[in-house]
Amino acid sequence: MNHLPRALLSLALLVGAAAARAEEAPPPPAADPTPQGPVEKVEVRGDADEAATLDGTAFATVIRAEDFEGRVTSVPELLRDLVGVQVRGLGGEFATVSIRGSTAEQVVVYLDGVPLNRALGGGVNLADLPLGQVDSIEVYRGVTPVGLPAASIGGAVMIHTRRASGSPAASVTATVGSYGSGEMIASVSGRSQRADYRVGLDGGVSDGDFEFFDNNGTPQNPADDTTAVRHNNDFQRGHLSGQASVRTGERGRLSLAADLLAREQGVPGLDCCKSPYARFSTSRWLLRPTFEMPGLFGGRVLGRLAADYTRYREEFDDPHGDIGLTGFPTDAIHQIETLGGEAGLVIAAPGRQAISFLLSRRRETADLADHALPGPDDIGRATRHTTVVTLEDQVSFASDRFVINPSLRHEAYDSDFDPGPGGGVVTPAEDASYLTGKIGFRLKATVAVTVKGNFGRFTRLPDFIELFGNQGAVVGNPALDPERGRTLDLGFVATRRQPQGALRAARLELTIFETLAEDLIQFIPNSQSTVLAQNFDRARIRGAELTFALGLGTRFSGSLNLTHQNPRDVSGGRNDGLLLPGRPQDEVSASTTLEAGRGRVFYDFTYVGPNFIDRSNTPSTALPARYLHDAGYLLRLRPGLQATFEVKNAADEQTYDYARYPLPGRSFHARMSWEF
């Protein structure tokens, strides 16, 4: 009788606590760590479901540190190969993620449980998430687990940094590669009976001076095309990450996570219209104390309190106005501070239920200035308060064979802009609140086959630029409504695992989905010099995702991810029925790994289908399909010491995620790591 509540409590302990990892609070021995389907360990990147514990019915993928151990890679490269996920970069230290055809703004990215999306606008730059200290990445497609304080239409990406290992350990890694790139990663960790800690430090540099096809700004004139070198595309990055935790009393655990990032980089501009001077620098401070109290009231209640503080400082200096369409020189400085608090509670209720509750309150301020403005440079301060209350009831039937988890999310927010001497006059935005919800199910049809499905409604709040405009061409529209999305998915997971024999492990997941996004916000020209954000667009994305993972014998692992989607404009206007720009219909990624003696050979293939750059789907300007090949060899020199050689984009394809922003061609990398 107690088995189920304990299992649910173990699950719920993780609800709302992205930073709370199973290793910190091991469940009682009798407890099944999760009420999900069987956990398979197929040694390939991006195992679906494994340890994706925040929502047992959601379609999720987890990448663990072991999956990219020894590889020369990055968060954008890892996400790029996942099913249903698209990453778009600018060929430098900027990349954003889209899930199931969403926009980047419709995906919430968390670092150790702290949402990184800002009310100032724009998607999260994945380059702000160095991989060196990352332990795992969870990607929830289409739905956001109820325990997370921010939700959106596309889904959620959760980055977990590494924690202390079982015994004192340290590691050092050095990487060098093409285009003057290099990276150093170091970490040290320790553990005592009551406390543990881990500190990681990493830094990276690159000149980013790859060659690319330059059409001289005349796409129809091949006579003046050349091969040029990307300039002002360098970066330098430093990153410090640390965690410490201590047990308090019999059950409590207090932990603190800190993350500091600083990066300075060039902004090279468009392919033809190069900017030799524009620079961008960013720094981020993140602190997150968490206090967890499992096993209250006889083990029937789990409690958790958390707070977070994030501070960004960003400066974009474009002294000649080379970037953007206005031609204005800019020296914009944004200081963004977010203070958040969360309280979570999980109650093991009668009737094989686990009721979880989350209250989150966040305050975000953005102080905006532009030193290029003549006269006062203080543009003003934008502020947003957000209050979120979520409630979920997870009910299990037939000894966990069937689970449903209906949930509600109530979100209230108010935004305000207080213009400074250099700012303009704006109308305050109205307060608003929204109720959304989600229901999912999971049915273990057989020992090997699990069927899952979800239906949910989510929103994306309008950002500060959309609400209040900027000092240039954007006029604020305080009357904007949030973007709304309805998502539906259904699929099955079939697994087979046997310790002996040629077929060691196999896993097949097939999912179909549909997302209907409404009231999408677009900037519409409303005068000779200004644009205005308006709610008007509507999009429907239908698709299918297939994941197949295979382990043969003791040496071979492989995986194949296929995504087909049909992202259509259904606004009813002149582009009704056409494909959404920037969303390829087909993506394929395949990975293989072969263990050979002290070494390992690996090969990754990525296909991204052609996609249109305009809403009217002009074939002649569509970005062509790309075929990327990465391969490498890892050699274990001695215990704890290994070397890797890797070639990326081996076929030297000239590719683009965005028109006019070239991506690097072939590159070579070597890496040496030592754990001791």
CB 232 within 8 Å of CB 620: no
Using the rule CB under 8 A, is 424 a contact of another protein? Answer: yes
Burial of 627 (C-beta count, 10 Å sphere; 0-12/13-18/19+): middle
The residue range among 49-57, 270-278, 443-451, 513-521 that interacts with another protein, by the rule CB under 8 A, is 270-278
Q: How many CB atoms lie within 10 A of CB 326?
A: 12
Q: Least distance from C-beta 654 to another protein, angstroms?
A: 7
Question: Of residues 530, 635, 636, 645, which one binds another protein by CB under 8 A?
Answer: 530
Using the rule CB under 8 A, is 222 a contact of another protein? Answer: yes
Using the rule CB under 8 A, is 500 a contact of another protein? Answer: no
Using the rule CB under 8 A, is 629 a contact of another protein? Answer: yes
**Cα(266)–Cα(279) distance, rounded to whole angstroms?**
4
37 φ, ψ (degrees, to nearest 5):
-70, 175
38 φ, ψ (degrees, to nearest 5):
-60, 140
Number of residues engaging another protein in binding (CB under 8 A): 88
- What is the residue-wise DSSP string for 268-309? -BSSSSB-SS-EEEEEEEEEEEEEEEEEHHHHTEEEEEEEEE
Using the rule CB under 8 A, is 374 a contact of another protein? Answer: yes
The residue range among 217-225, 235-243, 247-255, 667-675 that interacts with another protein, by the rule CB under 8 A, is 217-225
Question: Of residues 449, 473, 635, 643, which one binds another protein by CB under 8 A?
Answer: 473
Q: Least distance from C-beta 223 to another protein, angstroms?
A: 6
Nearest to 93 by CA among 80, 76, 78: 76
CB 189 within 8 Å of CB 676: no
**Cα(553)–Cα(574) distance, rounded to whole angstroms?**
55
Taking CB under 8 A as the criterion, which residues in 323-362 touch another protein? 325, 327-329
Whichever of 574 and 638 has its CB closer to another protein, that residue is 574
**Cα(317)–Cα(332) distance, rounded to whole angstroms?**
6
Using the rule CB under 8 A, is 479 a contact of another protein? Answer: no
Using the rule CB under 8 A, is 218 a contact of another protein? Answer: yes
Question: Of residues 240, 272, 305, 439, which one binds another protein by CB under 8 A?
Answer: 272
Using the rule CB under 8 A, is 573 a contact of another protein? Answer: yes
Taking CB under 8 A as the criterion, which residues in 643-662 touch another protein? 650-651, 653-655, 659-660
Using the rule CB under 8 A, is 594 a contact of another protein? Answer: yes
**Residue 79: enclosing H or E segment and its boundaries?**
helix 75-80
The residue range among 8-16, 150-158, 271-279, 539-547 that interacts with another protein, by the rule CB under 8 A, is 271-279
Write the binding mask 391 to 420 for another protein: x where contact by CB under 8 A, - elsewhere: ----------------------------x-
Using the rule CB under 8 A, is 471 a contact of another protein? Answer: yes
Using the rule CB under 8 A, is 363 a contact of another protein? Answer: no
Helices (H) and strands (E) in the chain, counts: 5, 36
Q: Least distance from C-beta 363 to another protein, angstroms?
A: 24
Please give the C-alpha separations between residue 550 and each of 203, 505, 629, in angstroms, as whole numbers.
35, 6, 20
CB-based burial, 479-516: b 16+ in 10 Å, e otherwise = ebebbbbbbbbbbebbbbbeeeeeebbbbbbebebbbb
- According to DSSP, the β-strands at 107-111 and 114-115 are antiparallel
Taking CB under 8 A as the criterion, which residues in 288-327 touch another protein? 320-322, 325, 327
The residue range among 62-70, 619-627, 635-643, 668-676 that interacts with another protein, by the rule CB under 8 A, is 619-627
Nearest to 210 by CA among 281, 264, 262, 271: 271
Using the rule CB under 8 A, is 531 a contact of another protein? Answer: yes
CB 366 within 8 Å of CB 118: yes
Whichever of 236 and 534 has its CB closer to another protein, that residue is 534
Using the rule CB under 8 A, is 672 a contact of another protein? Answer: no
